[in-house]
Amino acid sequence: MASILKHIVKNDAMKTDPKEIYGWRVYLLACSACFGAMSFGWDSGVIGGVINLESFREAYGLADSDDEVAIANLSGNIVSVLQAGCFVGALAAYPLTDAYGRKYCLMAAALFTLVGVAMQAAASGHLEPMYIGRFISGLGVGASSVINPIYVTENAPRAIRGLLTGMYQLFIVTGGMIAFWGNYAVSVHLSGPKQYIVPLSVQGLPALLLFSLMAICNESPRYLARKDRWEEAKAVLIRIRNLGPDHPYLQDEFQEIADQLEYERRLVGDASFWSLQKEMWLVPANRKRAILSIVLMICQQMTGTNAINTYAPQIFKNLGITGTSNSLLSTGVYGIVKVVSCIIFLLFMADSLGRRRSLLVSSVGQAFCMFYIGLYVRISPPVDGQPVPGAGYFALVCIFVFAAFFQFGWGPACWILISEIPAARLRPMNVALGSATQWLFNFVVARAVPNMLATVGAHGYGTYLIFGSFCVSMFFFVWFFIPETKGISLEHMDALFGVTEEGKLDVTDGAKHDVSKVEIEEHSNRSDNRSV
């Protein structure tokens, strides 16, 4: 695996770090945690197609009115209540993951998602259990969105941290792709209530896999170190790095973890909620990182990507694709494009081209696509009963190209950045803040887009122009404010954001907490160390 990665990943860490650290365990840990991300992608894909199925529309009152705005409001409510739950779950995850650990909080999030999925599938045309079930699912999905990037980041080797953390986005789009094709399959092969109950039920599969796989995974070594469980932390690090306890690389990484924690504790003291708030907002380097995380996640949603993800069947109809099955088929192809594009980014761009340049390229490509679609719908909109013109087919291609450019930057890169730039003790709070912001604006977009498509110009052309304008502004935001982080260890992010070694020495009086000499006993009799 190491020899393959060296041909793909181009950074200094890949050239110097030992090949043993790229063993199968780190990939299994990342994939196991990322099933929490798949839950969101699967739900977004399922609900976007299900609300267009005639059987669902009849059962839930979406076919009883000719008022497009009223239908848009009800569709928006059904979709967006999940994002409301995600917002609450993301905020709740921060204190919980610090108190109980990454592993067990991910397992608890999976259980919440499963309960919510069961309620949605059993709602049988009643809006109340549908709303409650989607909110409960949102609690689990939102909590996973905070804990997942933290867990992967804290376990990943620095050279491929972008690749492994970016798998969060890959699992989102993979879940969406599976859901898109599932919707198409049920629209063709099933009828009646089964047509929507089956996809609503099957979306619980990622949560089930998340719970099962996390049960055999280890806790994060950096979390264990923060809780002063040093022997367990080093034992886990030895296992996932596949190195002996005296290997220089492992000793250096462990000492960096210890030095960083010692510096942070001397700087602010014990990690109470208010002391962490002061540290985040009163220390200039930390405040800058918190603000960047918030703005990055706002920008991610303002690209309009989740508008297309969730309402893709409706958008394809607006562009001239007729028939529910045809629009769902187009959505399935859209899902494949997203998955392939995300894989290309993770393999060839995240740790080689870098986060910053990927975001810049992504902004330009997405802006072009959105502006073209908006102008096409404004100047030469599709006409019912007539074939789609050449300009219309190019607009359809732009939807797929837009999806590819999003996966080249703003999709995975934001999750990578918000999980790697904060100081260790602020990482859970920073990721929770960024994730909650993402869910808040995801809710805003999910709730607003049906109305925008119905009211902002003919065929909703203004919707695309608005999102295109946001993409242009995001280019300049990245150009002036986002630094490159590829190949930089987590413990060196302070220096990147202006915290000097001299400043650290002033705080710590030059002290170093040499815990790398901790004697490690055999842990084979401990449940934490029977994990992968």
Task: Give per-residue pLDDT as tens, 76-117.
Answer: 788 888 888 988 998 888 889 888 999 999 999 999 999 999
- Tell me the pLDDT tens digit for each residue of 143-163: 998 898 889 888 888 777 777
Question: 378-386 — which CB contacts under 8 Å span 24+ positions?
Answer: 378/457, 378/458, 378/461, 378/465, 381/458, 381/459, 381/461, 382/318, 382/319, 382/320, 382/459, 384/322
More confident residue, 509 or 9: 9
**Neighbour tally for 3: CB within 10 Å:** 8
Q: For the chain, what is the radius of gyration of the CA atoms?
A: 23
What whole-number distance in Å separates Cα of residue 435 and Cα of residue 159?
24
- pTM here is 0.74
Q: Give the confidence band of 499 by pLDDT, cuts at 50, 70, 90.
A: low
Residue whose C-alpha is closest to residue 445's, from 313, 298, 251 = 298
Tokens representing 278 are 């002061």
8 Å CB contact between 86 and 145: yes
Q: Is the dihedral of CA 9, 15, 17, 19 positive or negative?
A: positive
Task: Give pLDDT, residue 529.
Answer: 44
What whole-number distance in Å separates Cα of residue 355 and Cα of residue 349?
8
- The mean-pLDDT minimum among 7-16, 182-191, 347-356 falls in 7-16
pLDDT (average), residues 288-297: 92
Question: 202-206 — which CB contacts under 8 Å span 24+ positions?
Answer: 203/39, 203/42, 203/43, 203/46, 203/117, 203/179, 204/113, 204/114, 204/117, 204/118, 205/42, 206/35, 206/36, 206/38, 206/39, 206/42, 206/113, 206/171, 206/175
- Tell me the pLDDT tens digit for each residue of 237-264: 999 888 888 889 889 888 888 887 887 7
- Tell me the pLDDT tens digit for each residue of 227-244: 889 999 999 999 988 888
What whole-number distance in Å separates Cα of residue 364 and Cα of residue 341?
16
pLDDT (average), residues 176-193: 84
- The mean-pLDDT minimum among 122-131, 310-319, 395-404 falls in 310-319
Q: Whole-angstrom distance between the N-terminal and C-terminal Cα of the chain? A: 18
More confident residue, 326 or 40: 40
More confident residue, 503 or 123: 123
- Tell me the pLDDT tens digit for each residue of 450-486: 788 778 877 778 888 999 999 999 999 999 998 888 7
Task: Give pLDDT, residue 498.
Answer: 75
Tokens representing 510 are 């030059």
Task: Give pLDDT, residue 13.
Answer: 64
8 Å CB contact between 41 and 335: no
Task: Give pLDDT, residue 117.
Answer: 93
Q: What is the DSSP letter of 180?
A: H
- The mean-pLDDT minimum among 262-271, 298-307, 408-417 falls in 262-271
Q: Is 456 helix (H, G, I), strand (E, B) or coil?
A: coil
Tokens representing 70 are 């009223």
Helices (H), 482-532: 493-496, 501-508
Residue whose C-alpha is closest to residue 147's, from 102, 91, 108 = 102
8 Å CB contact between 310 and 492: no
Element (H, E) at 121: helix 102-121
8 Å CB contact between 262 and 494: no
Tokens representing 492 are 């060196």
Q: Give the confidence band of 513 by pLDDT, cuts at 50, 70, 90.
A: very low
Q: Which residues contact 407 (CB under 8 A, 6 or more apart)?
A: 169, 173, 338, 341, 342, 344, 345
More confident residue, 73 or 525: 73
HEC readout, 335-362: HHHHHHHHHHHHHHCCCCCCHHHHHHHH
pLDDT averaged over every residue in the chain? 81
- The mean-pLDDT minimum among 184-193, 198-207, 463-472 falls in 184-193
8 Å CB contact between 516 and 258: yes
